[in-house]
Amino acid sequence: MKVVIVLYTAGKHAEDESRLYGCTENALGIKEELEKAGHTVVVTADKEGSNSEFEKNLPDADIVITTPFHPAYLTKERLQKAKKLKLVVVAGVGSDHIDLDYINQNKLDISVLEVTGSNVVSVAEHVVMTILILVRNFVPAHEQIMAGEWDVAGIAKDSFDIENKTIATIGAGRIGYRVLERLVPFNPKELLYYDYQALPAEAEKKVGARRVTDLKELVAQADIVTINCPLHAGSKGLINKELLKHFKKGSWLVNTARGAICVAADVAEAVENGTLRGYGGDVWFPQPAPKDHPWRKFHNQYGAGNAMVPHYSGTVIDAQVRYANGTKAIVESFLSGKFDYRPQDIILLNGQYKTKAYGDDKKV
């Protein structure tokens, strides 16, 4: 078997931290074992364009392993070249960089698996952190200290508690629900959620959340909105100029789901013109984000309101340990011929959808 693994290159960082599994140097901790068993393993960070190592190795690859942090995009064109491909493993969560509908509709015998749950806690923590950073106005406060300054009023005037605010999540699945759970003791005014299905009554009661079935009505009521849904045809560009008109003036938006759920220029403009007080998160399109991406530059009227970071919330060390172990288990299950995958990890099994989260008929 030929296994092609696409990961970011960590250089000296891989030496600094041996648990940094998700990089080319440490190769999820599975390279040696696979080679010892007689398989060919190609590990590369070079993933863009037809001359990339990734694309050159696609035609005879049996297994492709990629991550959402440095995604090897599997487009229709690339899938047509990958004649031997049987298994795609996402070391992490989120398969939107793969044209799942193309595989499904053309009945390609390809299975796509994620390590479900490996990132949920990490991302939920990042969401709560980003809400606090934006609402409490951390970034300019820290910059002030580093610049040798001290101007409490300049920070305080744009700084608030999250207590007694209405907080809404778009998507109340594994991550969105964990965000709600973590927000409860902060005593929000109300927790709202929007999802294609209602939470079980018990789960809804536990966090005291109220479902709102109209997205415009949801954002119109919320002081803080957080996006926690998958990217698919139904959610691409969901947050655009039109929907932003319905947001509460001066609210905050956090997105750790996928960059393409937002129209980048529209969101940047919304912060610049005061529709939003701030925007933050770790997801971009494309990734790595180009130097001139609008999210690297926007600020509100006070030079604040930007809490962007590179895509790393689900790749902290604790998460790397989880998804390295999960990837190993999936690959071993495939190679053994047992295919005894964890059901929740399966996105496509031999081309067939095994999840409700993807597919071109999806709502959020």
Q: Among residue numbers 178 through 207, which ones bind a second copy (CB under 8 A)?
A: 181-182, 184-187
309 is in an annotated binding site: no
Question: Using the rule CB under 8 A, which residue among 59, 208, 288, 343 binds a second copy?
Answer: 288
CB 97 within 8 A of CB 71: yes
Those residues whose C-beta lies under 8 Å from the C-beta of residue 36, and which sit 6 or more positions away, are: none
CB of 217 to a second copy, least distance (A): 25
232 is in an annotated binding site: yes
The footprint of a second copy on residues 152-171 (CB under 8 A) is 152-164
Query: Is 48 one of the binding residues for a second copy (CB under 8 A)?
Result: no
Compute, in degrees rounded to 10, the torsion defined by CA atoms 145, 147, 150, 155. -70
Annotated binding residue 210 = no
Instruction: Say how far apart CA 312 and CA 300 lie, in whole Å.
Output: 24
By C-alpha distance, which of 303, 261, 265 is closest to 282? 261
For the question of residue 311 being annotated catalytic, the response is yes
173 assigned ligand-binding residue:
no
* CB of residue 267 to a second copy, shortest distance in Å: 15
Q: Taking CB under 8 A as the criterion, which residues in 302-361 touch a second copy?
A: 302, 306-313, 315-320
Backbone angles phi, psi at 116, to 5 degrees: -55, 135
Does position 103 bind a second copy by CB under 8 A?
no
By CB under 8 A, the residues from 120 to 149 that bind a second copy are: 121-122, 125-126, 128-129, 132-133, 136-139, 141-142, 144-146, 148
- Paired residues of 276 in beta bridges: 251
Number of residues lying near a second copy (CB under 8 A): 74
Cis peptide before 288 (omega within 30 of 0): yes
- Cis-peptide into 343, omega within 30 deg: no
Does the active-site annotation cover 182?
no
Q: Which of 175, 218, 231, 289 binds a second copy (CB under 8 A)?
A: 289
Residue 104 known to be catalytic: no
Map the footprint of a second copy across residues 2-21, applying CB under 8 A: 8-11, 13-14, 16-17, 20
287 is catalytic: yes
- Other residues' Cβ atoms within 10 Å of the Cβ of residue 144: 15
Residues with catalytic function: 119, 258, 287, 311
